[in-house]
Structure 1
Amino acid sequence: MTRFDADEPRERRKLFAEAFAAHRERASAFVTFEVDHEENSDVDEQGSSARQTQSGDGEDEPAPWVQFADQTFNVDVTDEELDRLKSLLDEFPELRIDRMESPDAAEGTNVRITARSDANRLAAFVDRTFQAVYGRDEDYRAWVAAV
């Protein structure tokens, strides 16, 4: 891979597909995608704000990320994001939730999604996850943080 970020829909999906191919070619442990840390998310139709990169008390919160390893996506979501993730999975019948964990000390849920598909379809899922689940605009910037 020669580039690690993109902010246009077509270029992001191409970047994501290339990252999946590099991950497989290198037999790396995982590949991780993140959104630009300085970008805030939109407010959805119901007026609920998706995750922000800074909490109301001024403390930085981690930006949304999606990780993939062993044919499994790994994401952390709030309750509202979990509902949106479940709806998004209707668009991707080849993906299914394998496991959900909500530790008492955490304010969200870690979701594992089994994904057996080609790199382009996996890339489409990552792009849609950042938009539909985490509320990013169509022109959000994404990074391949680890391959």
Structure 2
Amino acid sequence: MLRPLLTALILAAPPAVAQNVTFGGIRADIKAPVEVAADDLSVNQADGSAVFTGNVVIGQGEMRLSADRVRVIYAEGGRNRIRSLDATGNVTLVSGADAAEAQAATYDVESGNVTLTGDVVLTQGQNVLTGDRMEVNLGSGTARVQGRVRSVLQPGGN
């Protein structure tokens, strides 16, 4: 009796592979200056990178990214243009009322895309969405979650 019911529920459920969501009540201004604060900075002249460690907080417009360690990779030909940021350890991305946590993140500053990986948890109010990977476009405020996606949606919420 239980087996036909479980089979029917499994067949009726949508696949939990990927889900598109909105991210951030406000779109982040990807042309705004990138501000970085940390306990320590180490610069490598040979490869043109800088590593910030200890309570790292990156701000750009309304967006905040925090992590234990962030490696800054500069664009070719100049140290004043950041190409990307690689964050590891206790990564949190906040935009508007939305917050996401992950083990690591890469922020492509020029495109405004942030990719979070490893046990991603997205919180939007009381709604929670988890997955293995989340790609956020800060310019459009859209996100895509992939890899064993699970949602907990509160009744009456958006």
TM score, norm. by length of structure 1:
0.29
> Greater strand percent: which structure?
2
Bigger RCO of structures 1 and 2 (CA < 8 A, at least 6 apart):
1
TM score, norm. by length of structure 2:
0.27
Greater radius of gyration (CA): 2
